[in-house]
Amino acid sequence: MTELAALLDLTEEILWLHFLVFLRVAAAISLFPGFGEQSVPLRIKLGLAIMMTMIIAPAIAPAIFPVQIDPPPLGLVVLTEAVIGLMIGLGIRLFVMALQTAGTVAAQSTSLSQILGTQGIDPIPAMGHILVLGGITLAMITGLHVRLAELVILTYALFPVAQFPSGAAVSAWGVQQIANTFALAFSLAAPFVIISVLYNLTLGVINRAMPQMMVVFVGAPVITAAGMTILLVMAPTMLTLWVEALGGFMSNPFGG
């Protein structure tokens, strides 16, 4: 009976450890690029969260051991771990939103938002879908899922279990991340905006010189071809810059 009681105690500790890790990991997976997309079935997301939990739990067992000895209220644990996990997932998800915004700006600038638009799960122009799909694929090839495991493990030193992060610090971090997202998006879409400005200035000059000419019908094929050509030429550079920015965030997600 003594051995059975020891085995039950050990099983309870292991389950409690994995439950604590699962709360944080599942929240992060729900917003994680690739894994957390709306097109991914919930069963797949659950399986990924469980497998990631099994990878992370042994690494952070010493950090969670004091919580296992004196467990805090269950509601507090669930709430704090979910909030921290959502912070991790949201910080990475903002980089996908940067690609979506860059694609939307590029399509609007080159008059391709309606011609090559879409009404799918994420109703963004085709340029945005191309950039998002290419960015997520490139990030996964370079080991983004491995970096997620590393990031979650490191967060236990910064955000202990059952302790809320500072509201002021989280607010400042969120504002900074959103600002960085828009800055990155407009930086990636800058070539398309420049071409759009030059195109409109040229049409204005031509229209002043020849008012009777239908410059819009002449210029529409030009701006369409220019937009698609720039996308073909600049997409590798845009995705490279995006992956580098994402890698910088993964290396130091919360500053300091």
Given a contact cutoff of 8 angstroms between Cβ atoms, the answer to whether 196 and 220 are in contact is no
How far is 216 from 220, CA to CA, in rounded Å? 6
Task: Give the type of residue at 58.
Answer: P
Residue whose entry in the numeric block shows the structure tokens 């008012």: 211
| Mean pLDDT score, 115-130 | 65
Rounded mean pLDDT of 215-244? 84
* Residue 121, helix vs strand vs coil: coil
pLDDT in tens, 7-35: 666 677 788 888 889 999 999 998 888 88
The pLDDT tens digits of the residues spanning 96-116 come to 999 999 988 888 888 776 555
Burial 169-202 (b: 16+ CB within 10 A, else e): eeeebeeebeebbeebbeebbbbbeebbeebeee
Which residues fall within 8 angstroms of residue 192, CB to CB, at 6 or more apart?
A: 105, 106, 109, 110, 227, 230
**Is 148 in contact with 139 (CB distance < 8 Å)?**
no
Which pair of tokens denotes residue 74?
């269950």
Segment 195-218 shows an average pLDDT of 77
Q: Percent of the chain having pLDDT more than 90?
A: 21
Give the count of beta carbons closer than 10 Å to the beta carbon of residue 114: 9
This prediction's pTM = 0.84
| pLDDT of residue 230 exceeding 50 | yes
User: How much is the pLDDT for 1?
Assistant: 54
Are the C-beta atoms of 59 and 157 separated by less than 8 Å? Answer: no
Least confident range of 175-179, 193-197, 210-214: 210-214
